[in-house]
DNA sequence: GGCATACCTTGATTCACATCAAATTTTAAA
DNA sequence: TTTAAAATTTGATGTGAATCAAGGTATGCC
């Protein structure tokens, strides 16, 4: 036991694999290996071809691309229970992004053949996989929407409200999921702009900032500045 | 015959359904209906929930979102043989975009249950579906990359080179897939900016513009202005 | 043809955000 | 603690592309 059953337990707890049987989990676990990644380490470079995908068990990694001019843009901050690399694996094309650990992390690498076996055995699982990719796709569409028709301030507010994730009116304390530098990049801002916006919102009495901890004082007020997408 | 076999023929020719057996195509066709959409018509609004997905048989539609301020951003221009709406269907969430016909169009609507049946019957098809969504996802990542770290000019050049799709050095004639207004929106530009950039490139002797027809005179020169993503 | 409607271009101006430069604070390590 | 390195803030300035405002030019309709 030990390693093997640990992996089984982690796998079984992933949203994606929630509904698999013990047998199926065991099958996946056989094609899975553990990877430890210390802070700052690159997992794979842009251009890599993946023969499997990854799940974060502990820690945090970022997916990002870099321009020839050396700028870097964080596409995604991936935390425990979340996976990445599926699309690149299914496509069999070079990855458009690279992956770097933001903290010391523990990942699981699940081999393609092992996942395919699960898909072949269980079409409900295949559907769940499709739904998973669809959600990812939806997220990217939202990003595109944010970048193209919302201002810096609106993007930040949207981000904060998502973290706050509480429809209550009262003050909510939240922690930025990463350094301001990384958060800024994720929101397509410079660190300077992020700092100024946070200052401005604090000035306006809408939030309080203490390092990475942000207290949302007035969700209503923030929402008013952040025209939420109305259905219809 | 007629309608029914027409649909079968169209379905069978779609990249997604290429490798299905005649039986399987027939099964899909049973859950498929034809939709005619005249130019300017809205197929579904933002916020709609889809019980199936669409394939363009003839014509052209756009997927776009609009801001409260009335701006509109085209996410995708969809032509014959291409499909859309799968992700929204799998997710069972409101669509983040609306769909409007750019020309008189003929679409096929493929019901969810019919697709699910195909997935249940044939896991290779499920895999192809996964690969299809992955490709879509990859495209969106590219968009995000373009919006966040390339200039207007670079985005346009990238777009032109993709349309040119010929590694030859000589002049290539291509047609913009839609009106300049729509193309501009797709590239996250105003029509004014698009016009100016085209003018500038023509001035520089790199292209020639005559309405929607664009002659690429110097692919090399264009590529030099458009740092292509290097793997590695 | 003549008229209207959409489409595109051109110029002047503005603005949001980036960039550059320099403190200042926080964190980590010795 | 002391010091070094990293992260963050603050201020001054620059700029790419949007916006505003007219003109032109196709395209289709009567």
- Which nucleotides of strand D lie within 7 A of protein CB? 7-12, 16-21, 26-27
Residue A227 confidence (pLDDT) above 70: no
Strand C close to A146 by CB, under 7 A: no
Q: pLDDT digit string (tens) for A33-72? A: 999 999 999 999 999 999 999 999 999 999 999 887 778 9
User: Helix (H, G, I), strand (E, B), or coil: what is residue A180?
Assistant: helix
- Supply A148's token pair: 């193209």
User: Helix (H, G, I), strand (E, B), or coil: what is residue A189?
Assistant: coil
Rg (C-alpha) for chain A, rounded Å, is: 19
Q: Which of B13-22, B59-68, B172-181, B205-214 has the lowest mean pLDDT?
A: B13-22
Instruction: From chain B, pick out residues whose CB is under 8 angstroms from the CB of A223.
Output: none
The string over B203-228, giving b where at least 16 C-beta atoms fall within 10 Å of a residue's C-beta and e elsewhere, is eeebbeeeeeebebbbbebbeeebee
Residue B104 confidence (pLDDT) above 70: yes
Strand C close to B203 by CB, under 7 A: no
Give pTM, 2 decimals. Answer: 0.92
Compute CA distances A186 → A156, A191, A194, B142, whole Å.
10, 11, 11, 15
User: Helix (H, G, I), strand (E, B), or coil: what is residue B197?
Assistant: helix
Of A73, A119, A129, the CB nearest to B148: A73
Q: pLDDT digit string (tens) for B148-168? A: 999 999 999 999 999 987 677
Measuring from the CA of residue A189 to each C1' atom, give the nucleotide at the shortest distance.
C17
Yes or no, beta carbons of B137 and A136 under 8 Å apart:
yes
| Nearest residue in B to A150, CA atom | B67
The string over A68-85, giving b where at least 16 C-beta atoms fall within 10 Å of a residue's C-beta and e elsewhere, is eeeeebbbbbbeeebbbb
Cα B37 from Cα B100, distance rounded (Å): 9
Instruction: From chain A, pick out residues whose CB is under 8 angstroms from the CB of B147.
Output: 144, 147-148, 188
Yes or no, beta carbons of A134 and B67 under 8 Å apart:
no
Q: pLDDT digit string (tens) for B130-140? A: 999 999 999 99
**Higher-scoring residue by pLDDT: B175, A166:** B175
Residue B1 confidence (pLDDT) above 50: no
- Supply B202's token pair: 């023509």
Yes or no, beta carbons of A96 and B141 under 8 Å apart:
yes
Measuring from the CA of residue B179 to each C1' atom, give the nucleotide at the shortest distance.
C7
Structure confidence at residue B232 as a pLDDT band (50, 70, 90): very low
Residue B42 confidence (pLDDT) above 50: yes
A146: closest CA of chain B, how far (Å): 10
Strand C close to A190 by CB, under 7 A: yes
Answer yes or no: are the C-beta atoms of B64 and B74 closer than 8 Å.
yes
Q: Which residue is nearest to nucleotide D9 (CA to C1')?
A: A195
Yes or no, beta carbons of A65 and B149 under 8 Å apart:
yes
Cα A172 from Cα A101, distance rounded (Å): 28
Q: How many CB atoms lie within 10 A of CB A27?
A: 17
Q: pLDDT digit string (tens) for A127-169? A: 999 999 999 999 999 999 999 999 999 999 999 999 987 677 6
């Amino acid at each position: 036991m030990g390693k093997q059953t640990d992996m089984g337990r982690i796998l079984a707890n992933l949203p994606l694999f929630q509904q698999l049987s013990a047998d199926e989990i065991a099958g996946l676990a056989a094609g899975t290996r553990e990877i430890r990644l210390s802070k700052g380490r690159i997992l794979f470079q842009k251009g890599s071809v993946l023969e499997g995908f990854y799940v974060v068990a502990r820690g945090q990694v970022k997916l990002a691309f870099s321009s020839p001019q050396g700028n870097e843009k964080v596409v995604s901050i991936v935390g425990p229970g979340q996976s990445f690399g599926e699309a690149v694996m299914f496509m069999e094309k070079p990855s458009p992004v690279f992956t770097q650990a933001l903290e010391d992390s523990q990942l699981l690498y699940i081999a393609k053949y092992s996942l395919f076996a699960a898909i072949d055995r269980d079409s409900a699982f295949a559907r769940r996989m499709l739904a998973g990719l669809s959600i990812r796709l939806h997220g990217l569409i939202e990003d595109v929407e944010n970048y193209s028709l919302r201002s810096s301030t609106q993007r930040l507010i949207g981000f904060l409200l998502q973290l706050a994730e509480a429809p209550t009116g009262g003050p909510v304390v939240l922690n930025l999921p990463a350094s301001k530098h990384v958060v800024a990049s994720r929101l397509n801002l410079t660190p300077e702009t992020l700092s100024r916006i946070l200052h401005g919102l604090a000035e306006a009495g809408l939030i309080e900032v203490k390092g990475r901890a942000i207290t949302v004082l007035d969700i209503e007020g923030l929402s008013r500045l952040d025209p939420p997408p109305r259905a219809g």
